[in-house]
Amino acid sequence: MKARDLGHQRLGKLPAYRLLPDIIRYLVDGGAPTEALVEQITEFGREALQFALKDDVFIEALWLLVRLPQAAAAPDTTTASSEIDINKDAIASVSDILFQYDSAVERAQRRLHQDNTDLGEIARRAGLTALGDGIQSNLPSLWQPSAEDVQSSLAGLKGTEKFADMAQNFYANFVERVIHYYVDRNLHNMVGPERVARSVHDLGSFDHAIRRHCSESALIMRAFARDWLGRSHYRDGKAISRADMRAFSAHAVEKIRTELAIRKGKS
Q: Where are the alpha helices (DSSP H) in the chain?
A: 20-29, 34-52, 56-73, 77-83, 94-111, 118-138, 147-155, 160-185, 187-190, 200-204, 207-217, 219-229, 242-263
Please determine, for residue 7, whether its predicted confidence score (pLDDT) is greater than 60: no
- For the entire predicted model, the pTM comes to 0.83
55-69, 104-118, 249-263 — which one is most confidently predicted on average?
A: 55-69
Average pLDDT taken over every residue of the chain? 81
- Confidence at residue 3, expressed as pLDDT on a 0 to 100 scale: 39
Answer whether 203's CB lies under 8 Å from 190's CB.
yes
Answer whether 43's CB lies under 8 Å from 16's CB.
yes
Q: Name the 3-class secondary structure at 86.
A: coil
- Segment (H or E) for 236: none
Q: What is the pLDDT of residues 75-93, one digit of tens each?
A: 999 999 999 989 888 888 9
- Confidence at residue 6, expressed as pLDDT on a 0 to 100 scale: 42
Average pLDDT of 62-67?
Answer: 95
Considering its fold, how many domains does the chain have in total?
1
* End-to-end CA gap in the chain: 48
Q: Name the 3-class secondary structure at 191.
A: strand
User: What is the rounded distance in angstroms from the CA atom of residue 170 to the CA atom of residue 257?
Assistant: 19
Q: What is the pLDDT of residues 154-178, one digit of tens each?
A: 999 999 999 999 999 999 999 888 8
Please determine, for residue 130, whether its predicted confidence score (pLDDT) is greater than 60: yes
Q: What is the pLDDT of residues 97-112, one digit of tens each?
A: 999 999 999 998 888 7
Domain limits at 170?
Answer: 3-263
Query: Which among 51, 23, 62 is positioned nearest to 176, based on CA atoms?
Result: 23
